[in-house]
Structure 1
Amino acid sequence: MKTILFTLVIYVTKTTILSQIVDAIAQQAARLEHVIFLSKLTVIGTIAAIDVNNSEKAGYLNNVGREIRHQAIAHGVLLRPLGNVLYLMPPYCITESELSWVYQQIDRVLAEVLDR
């Protein structure tokens, strides 16, 4: 019986922490909605995806992703751009303040790459 209760406590704790991360990601991603070069903000669970609009044709071969990745690394953030779609998949152990910092860096990177 103790094992079942212990397992339940762990499950409830992890579920609560995960839901807090999901909520924090949605709130932080919403901060980018004002950027005119971005569209199609999608948040599913702990993954956020957003389209970066530039003069190139949208798709996997769009070079803006490479530029964003290069600048993000210079800012200490590892992002997953695929063409003109920017993905953010933070680890479950991220804190809200770390997540906020990551989104601040994304905003800076986009400003540098897109000259806004």
Structure 2
Amino acid sequence: MKKNWISFLLLFVLMVSLGTEAFAANGETGAPVTGDTKLTSPISGQHQYGKLEAELRSGTYDVDVTLMELTPTGWVGIYILTATNANRAVSVNYYLEGGKQYRLQVKSQSSGWGHLYNYIP
């Protein structure tokens, strides 16, 4: 009986530890802009690639989407994705480290948006 109980306990601990990593919540954040700059809500990285998107919806000015990471000294821009008249919708897969916080700064004098997923949709 004691052997079965220990086996069950070890199996339970293994399932819980793997389950928290495998079933961590997927998240996303984004913002539309029209002639201004907006900051999004932060999301957590998951030790995997996420998807960063920028789209120019109307107008002639670029849409700049800056991926920002929270560091001990504050928010720091780590990557910029730009949608232009020639490439109105662009995206890139970017590795988001687990436990770190990320947000976007979306900026344009035209109309567009930026979006970040902490997974590949």
TM range (shorter): 0.3 to 0.5
Greater relative contact order structure (CA < 8 Å, 6+ sep) = 2
TM-score by length of 2: 0.40
Structure with more of its chain in helix, by fraction: 1
